[in-house]
Amino acid sequence: MDTFYVTQTERSPLAVLFRGNLRKQDSEAVFAKVQERLQAQPGGLGERVQLLLMPDFTPPSMDDMDAGEDAQARPIFLAISTQAQPKQPTAFTYVFSLATLVASAFTAFAYALGTFALNTEFFAKVNDGDLSVASQALPVAAGILGLQLVHELAHRLAALASGKKNLLGPPVFIPSLQVGTFGTITPFTTFPRDRKQAFDVSVAGPALGAVVSLGALIGGLLLTGGATTDALAAFPVVPAALFHSSAIIGTITSIALPQAMLQALSTPVPLHPLAVIGFTGVIVNALNLMPVGRLDGGRLAAAGFGRRTAAVLGTLTLLLQAASAIFNNYSLQLFWGLVVIIFQRGQDLPALDEVSEVDEGRNTVLLVLLAFALFTLVPFPSL
């Protein structure tokens, strides 16, 4: 009674729903107290039942509206069996995860080879039958996969630090000939404790991945600017248009390698392998930060803004992405949009406590990362 006053109970064979009112403003403290009391119940009730605290999205009744109450603002407790868990990984799941990693290694190598396609010396040796030059692409492929493994490891370490080492299932890598790999599908295998935990685990991968990628990009551009003519001849070669495809990449290039931004869009520009790895990582992390469905960005938006706002934001994002792919002839956005719609569009598992909000610090981080994604995926403005 001193935590949650029940006004209505609804039962089904699978769950019991308790409507009511919080007796305290601090929903996090209420949830912790109710959980504590559940575990203290005799007969091992806490081992058989788990509670979810969720917003009540039921439209208000006429009586509620007459009383001036907003039913949507009131939380509900949902009691379900502890056996009600997401599908757990099997041996096949791990084998499939490994298979997708191998497939992504292949596409990363193919993508890395493609970055040398405009290198005249590389192309001449291939035409002469000297396939040993293909080894020049190995560092680029390894770097791209390495960045993705850093991204994935950050998720795992964050889950471990949050106290739920089994929160995440085996990752499914998404091969891509356009950027080597689109990243991974990383499922939750149990309910996050609260929105803060969901946020912290979801933010770790793209935040660290973006920082490392930006560092690699800046370092690679500086190394390109200081390279000798002989060294430049062995570098990957990309069209100058690449630097104009992203506002962030274009801005960084304008500072670290300004001569590249002055070239005609079709001009081939030699680029240090580290820079190629960096800009690829920047793009991939930005794509995964889009606030849609079960992407890292979608999970962050749901944790920071709530599920309803996140759903609206996700729909708007997909519409803008489709417009960008069609009107800007941006095939990368088109392919990524299809991947998201097919595999990542749906809503994710709720947290056990979906009512308690994240703090302002986390929301600030969310806004910074969304801005990073936006300015990475929009083109550098033409003067």
pLDDT at residue 333 above 60? yes
Same-domain check for residues 27 and 149: no
In this predicted model, what pLDDT tens digit does every residue of 183-231 receive, in sequence order?
999 999 999 999 999 999 999 999 999 999 999 999 999 999 999 999 9
How large is the C-alpha radius of gyration of the chain? 25
pLDDT at residue 65 above 60? no
Q: Are 252 and 283 in contact (CB under 8 A)?
A: no
Which of 81, 113, 128 terminates a domain? The answer is 81
In a domain, 175, yes or no: yes
Structural domains counted in the chain: 2
In a domain, 154, yes or no: yes
Q: What is the mean pLDDT of residues 162-181?
A: 95
Same-domain check for residues 229 and 167: yes
- Best CA proximity match to 370, nearest among 322, 323, 304: 304
Same-domain check for residues 220 and 353: yes
Amino acid letter, 70: D
Residues contacting residue 12 through CB under 8 Å, at least 6 positions apart = none
User: In sequence order, what E strands does 143-196 have?
Assistant: 172-176, 180-185
In a domain, 98, yes or no: no
pLDDT of residue 148: 98
pLDDT at residue 72 above 80? no
**Torsion angle of the four alpha carbons 162, 165, 170, 172, in this order, in degrees rounded to the nearest 10:** 10
Same-domain check for residues 230 and 331: yes
In a domain, 281, yes or no: yes
Same-domain check for residues 75 and 205: no
Q: What percent of the chain has pLDDT over 70?
A: 95
**CA pair distance 218, 280, nearest whole angstrom:** 12
pLDDT of residue 300: 98
Structural domain boundaries enclosing 187: 103-377
Q: Are 5 and 23 in contact (CB under 8 A)?
A: yes
Backbone angles phi, psi at 111, to 5 degrees: -65, -45
Q: Are 181 and 104 in contact (CB under 8 A)?
A: yes
Same-domain check for residues 240 and 273: yes
Residues contacting residue 328 through CB under 8 Å, at least 6 positions apart = 379
* CB-CB neighbours of 119 under 10 Å: 22
Same-domain check for residues 68 and 115: no
In this predicted model, what pLDDT tens digit does every residue of 129-156 receive, in sequence order?
888 889 999 999 999 999 999 999 999 9
pLDDT of residue 71: 47
Same-domain check for residues 353 and 306: yes
In a domain, 230, yes or no: yes
Task: Read off the tokens for 13.
Answer: 């064979």
Place of tokens 């939750």: 188
pLDDT band at 346 (very low <50, low <70, confident <90, very high): confident
pTM (2 d.p.)? 0.92
In a domain, 307, yes or no: yes
**CA pair distance 131, 115, nearest whole angstrom:** 16
Same-domain check for residues 145 and 288: yes
Same-domain check for residues 62 and 127: no
In a domain, 93, yes or no: no
**CA pair distance 353, 383, nearest whole angstrom:** 49
Which of 81, 115, 137 terminates a domain? The answer is 81
In this predicted model, what pLDDT tens digit does every residue of 218-273 receive, in sequence order?
999 999 999 999 999 999 999 999 999 999 999 999 999 999 999 999 999 999 99
**CA pair distance 270, 273, nearest whole angstrom:** 9
In a domain, 94, yes or no: no
Q: What is the mean pLDDT of residues 75-84?
A: 93
Same-domain check for residues 281 and 362: yes
pLDDT of residue 326: 79
pLDDT at residue 1 above 60? no
Same-domain check for residues 116 and 65: no
